[in-house]
A and B are shown apart, each in its own frame.
Chain A
Amino acid sequence: MGRRDYEALVIGGGIVGCSVALYLKRHMDKVLILEGEASIIQRASFVNQARVHNGYHYPKSLLTALRSRVNLPRFVSEYPDCIDQSFEKYYAIASHFSDVNVKQFMAFCQRIEAPLEPAPAAIRNLFRSELVEGVFRVQEYAFDAARLREGLLARLRDGGVELRTNCQVTKVLSSASQELEVHYESKGEQNSVVAEYVFNCTYSQLNQILIKSGLPIIPLKQEFAEVALVEVPVTLRHIGVTVMCGPFFSTMPFPARGLHTLSHVRYTPHHSWQDITEHDCRDAAEHLKNAPRRSNYPHMVMDAQRYLPSLRDSRYVDSLWEIKTVLPKSEVDDSRPILFGRDHGLKNFTCILGGKIDNIYDILDELETWRQEGGLGQ
């Protein structure tokens, strides 16, 4: 047998990569994370609405909703310090252009057994009645991405997972001894490590790594997305609001910055492309760097204040920009299935894509199944 530096190597230190590495470390001796940025939880794991889903968001995909219902308590119990429960969360159902009406939404919540109660009059009156059919109080939380980073760093350290930051993976290939060889660039130097298992958890960079490695790509839809960070007026400071279900907006506390996010189904995606063939693929990181950032905040707030007039007095602070990656098949029903591609082009090379934070548990379940089948360091 030739050289083997690690039993498992995870490319990407987002919430998915870190969770996978922590799981693997429980069953293996040496696990390494290669992260392209200066620290973990920098990109899509940080730049998002910070919402821990509890099913309400997916009236069009019962399965996704049910999975969220199962996963939320797991996430809350695993990361209690990162959860912000200090605000009330309300879901409003729009009268026009909505794919779901009040009756359907109530029936849906009953089916997934998610707690739902009519919002108090004071909250109801914040909305314009001709555009909103009903408002409900729900149980949904936000997570503090900065705390999540600290927590995960500590757990990686305590668990003995090795982390190398500022490492750009240049290719993955099969070594002479049937192991996987990962080449990366760090501070201008070329390095390589050999591992038995390699996990590609790079979200929007998934296909770039595949292309550089000469492996078949995975069809993905990539969106150039903007989430506005705003200081909302006092009346909205301790609440989160989501208008369902169609081209509407959502405003949620963003604990990591002490502000609210304002995102809009119509205006958050600036433009998108599909990675269908190698020729269509764009380097998402390059695109994120180079694409012009002309904020859609005016559009977002103009539309949002039609429903929630007090938003007019919110103050724009900043925007978070990120490439959002989704599986093409989830476009129709909003579902957020995970992608778990085992032996993708190379034996023991696995590509993983999660759509939202609590998907990590679906991914860990997949790993567990794999292990019970006899893989992963058994």
Chain B
Amino acid sequence: MTTVCDCFVSVLAPVSNDSRIIEDFVAEVMAVLQENFANYELVLVDDGSNDDTVMKVTELLKRYQCIRLIRLSRKFGEEIALSAALDSAIGDFVVLMRPNWDPPQLIPEIVQKAREGTGILFGIRNNREGDGMIIRAGAWLFYLYCEKVLKINLPKNSTQFRVLSRQAVNAIMQIKVRHRYLRTLIAHIGFNTGNFIYRPINRSGRTQTRNLLKVVNLGINIIVNASRHPLRAVSWFGVIAGVLNLLYTGFAVYSYLFGEHVASGWTSLSLQNAAMFFFVFLILTVLSEYIGHILIESEDRPLYYVYEERNSSVLIADQERKNVARNSIEDEFIQPAPRKMVG
């Protein structure tokens, strides 16, 4: 028997075309929350679903207390959806999770662990099932680069399943960047972090393989967002290329003045050209990445737009039950069992 925890827990979940799994997910989460916490809320952020997810959630709002649905005006992506949820969550501890992958049964345990001191807990998946060899190798390189070169503390194989204390949420809300990767934001704000290892479920049962291109893009975005290291690296390349060019100019002048077979030298000329263009393009590539980021960051417009917010409205006794004696109404209906506050 678990004891009821007196802290206020917010569970945040982005949903997008999750009509098939949303009912099971909500039922599981609500059962866990009712059982374990005195005060809680479930915030679902609809990230531009075009199936009947919203309709199903609207029905659930009549059945369960303390659920909120925030509908974004279009699809903004999981990270932005989570940002919207964080801006609105009211709990002492905030649990982020994806309905399809993360098991609600772990919530009490990880909240307890976060309460005991770490404040921030990352979920680490225990396998990379569904990822091919190339992605796994790429991921290994990525984490190596982040750890050894960029010196950012990115927990390996971490997922969106995580717990944040109110202190951490408040710190993240102050960050106004538009490229939002909670992983790097959390690494940036510091605080005590810990992790927990779990096995993702796959609620929908659909096998999902990740698109290599998308994964690479994600990696580049995270790196560019978190560090200026690549920019600094190409600065050095630029300096070296410049110096080489300068030396080569000296050599050309020297050859002109003192050389005998000036017309020849096609090989060295081509090599030099090729090398220089290589550097130039490399520099341009990295510059363009950062300019892109600057452009996006300099856009002064909201991160997301909220279409509407809907809240639980559970009618305790419905029309047909009017004649039933009061006691049985209270027992039968949604009103949570009386619970005592601990602490």
Please give, as numbers and ranges, the residues of chain B lying within 8 Å of A128 by CB-CB distance.
Answer: 170
Give residues of chain B (68-93) contacting chain A, Cβ–Cβ below 8 Å. Answer: 68, 84, 87-88, 90-92
Selecting from A6-14, A179-187, A268-276, the interface stretch reads A268-276
Interface of B is mostly: mixed
Q: Is B144 an interface residue when CB atoms closer than 8 A count as contact?
A: no
Most central of A96, A270, A291, A303 by chain B CB within 10 Å: A96
When the two chains form the complex, which single residue of B38, B87, B335 contacts A292, counting CB atoms closer than 8 Å? B335
Q: Which residues of A contact B326 (CB under 8 A)?
A: 290
Distance, CA A88 to CA B317, complexed state (A) = 42
Contact A96 B88 (CB under 8 A): yes
CA distance A266 to B69 in the complex (A): 12
Residues 304-339 of B at the A interface (beta carbon under 8 Å): 306, 309, 311-317, 319, 326, 329-330, 335-336
Q: B343 to nearest A CB, angstroms? A: 14
A370 is an interface residue with CB less than 8 A from chain B: no
Known A266-B68, A292-B330; judge A306-B313 contact (CB<8 A): no
- The answer to whether A298 and B173 touch across the interface, beta carbons within 8 angstroms, is no
The reply to whether A273 and B315 form a contact with Cβ atoms under 8 Å apart is: yes
Closest Cβ–Cβ distance, residue B75 to chain A (whole Å)? 19
Provide the residues of chain A in CB contact with B306, threshold 8 Å.
97
Known: A131-B173, A271-B314, A279-B319. A302 touches B330 (CB 8 A): no
Chain B interface size band reads: 20 to 34
The yes or no answer to B174 lying at the interface (CB within 8 A) is yes
Q: Of the candidates A279, A290, A294, which one forms a contact with B317 in the assembled complex, judged by CB atoms under 8 Å apart?
A: A290
**Bound: A270/B336 CA distance, A:** 14
Render B40-73 as a binary contact track against A, CB cut-off 8 A, 1 for contact. 0100000000000000000000000010100000
Across the interface, which residues of A come within 8 angstroms of B309, CB to CB?
97, 246-247, 266
Which residues of chain B are within 8 angstroms of A280 by Cβ–Cβ distance? 319
List the B side residues contacting A298 at CB < 8 Å: 8, 38-39
Q: Quick check: B316 and A291 within 8 Å, CB to CB?
A: yes
Q: How far is the CA of A266 from the CA of B89 in the complex (A)?
A: 12
Q: Which residue of A is nearest B306, CB measured? A: A97
A294 contacts across to B, CB distance below 8 A: 335-336
Residues of A within 8 A of B170 (CB): 128, 306
Chain A residues with Cβ under 8 A from B316's Cβ? 271, 291-292
User: Which residues from chain B contact A315 at a C-beta distance below 8 Å?
Assistant: none
- Specify which chain B residues have a CB less than 8 angstroms from the CB of A96 in the assembled complex: 84, 87-88
Given A266-B311, A271-B314, A292-B330, is A302 in contact with B90 using a C-beta cutoff of 8 Å?
A: yes
Q: When the two chains form their complex, are residues B313 and A299 in contact, meaning their CB atoms are under 8 A apart?
A: no
A284 to chain B, nearest CB (A): 13
Specify the main secondary structure of chain A where it touches its partner.
loop
Complex Cα distance, B91 from A306, in Å, reads 10
Q: Mark A117-131, 1 if CB is under 8 A from B, else 0.
A: 000000000001011
Q: How far is the CA of A96 from the CA of B72 in the complex (A)?
A: 13
> A147 an interface residue at 8 Å Cβ cutoff?
no
Query: Taking the nearest CB of chain B, how far is it from the CB of A312, in angstroms?
Result: 11
Which residue of A is nearest B315, CB measured? A271
Using Cβ atoms and an 8 Å threshold, which residues of chain A touch B84?
96
* Known contacts A97-B88, A294-B335, A298-B8; is-contact A269 B39 (Cβ 8 Å): no
A282 surroundings in chain B (CB, below 8 A): 319
- Residue-wise interface mask of A (212-247) relative to B, using a CB-CB cutoff of 8 A (1 in contact, 0 not): 000000000000000000000000000000000011
Q: How far is the CA of A97 from the CA of B329 in the complex (A)?
A: 37
Tell me which residues from 305 to 319 in chain A have a Cβ below 8 Å from any Cβ of chain B. Answer: 306
Can you name the residue of chain B whose Cβ is closest to the Cβ of A128?
B170
* Chain A CB within 10 A, most for which of B84, B87, B174: B87
A273 / chain B contacts, CB cutoff of 8 Å: 315
A306 to B66, CA, bound (A): 18
A134 CB, nearest partner CB in chain B, Å: 16
User: Which A-chain residue is minimally distant from B166 (CB atoms)?
Assistant: A306
- The residue on B at minimum CB distance from A266 is B311
- A299–B88 contact, CB under 8 A? no
Chain A residues whose C-beta falls within 8 Å of the C-beta of B317 in the assembled complex: 290-291
Q: Is the CB of B8 within 8 A of A302?
A: yes
Encoded as 1 (CB less than 8 Å from any B CB) or 0, chain A from 279 to 290 comes to 110100000001
Give 11 A-B contacts (CB < 8 Å), ordered by A residue. Answer: A131-B87, A266-B309, A269-B311, A271-B314, A271-B315, A279-B319, A290-B317, A292-B316, A298-B8, A299-B90, A303-B90
Given contacts A97-B306, A271-B312, 8 further A-B contacts (CB under 8 A): A128-B170, A131-B173, A246-B309, A266-B309, A266-B311, A279-B319, A292-B335, A299-B39
The 3 closest A-B pairs by CB, nearest first: A302-B90, A303-B90, A271-B313
